[in-house]
Amino acid sequence: MELITQIAQVQSFTAIALGLIIGLGALGACIGIGVMGSKFLEAAARQPELVPLLQGRMFLLAGLIDAAFLIGVALAMYFAVANPLLSKLAGA
């Protein structure tokens, strides 16, 4: 196969993978934060005296959920800008 065709194929598969990483990561983060928020509201309605404790923990977990998504975005952007898979084709 010609080198240009191989490069195009690697870039196209990388673009599909980037869409999956970012899309599924965003979907998972949204579902996770939504479920966590609903459970927080249920717990706050049952025991209002625990709201300050639960609120701090909820924001901590929201940050961790968003951090996991942003790590996926950073990894996807790394592959979009400096694709290490293309360097394997240079030696071929």
Q: Is there a catalytic annotation at residue 92?
A: no
- Residue 6 corresponds to which tokens in the numbers above? 């191989």
User: For the residues 73-82, what does the mean pLDDT come to?
Assistant: 92
pLDDT > 80? residue 21 = yes
pLDDT range class, residue 88, cuts 50, 70, 90: confident
Mind listing the domains of the chain with CATH numbers? 1-82 (1.20.20.10)
CA 34 → CA 29, 30, 69, distances in Å?
Answer: 8, 6, 15
Q: Please spell the DSSP secondary structure of 51-64, one letter per residue.
A: HHHHHHHHHHHHHH
Token look-up 């869409």 returns 19
Task: Report d(CA 20, CA 92) in Å as an integer.
Answer: 28
| Annotated active-site residue in 8, 66, 70, 85 | 66
End-to-end CA distance of the chain: 11
Instruction: Please tell me the pTM assigned to this model.
Output: 0.80
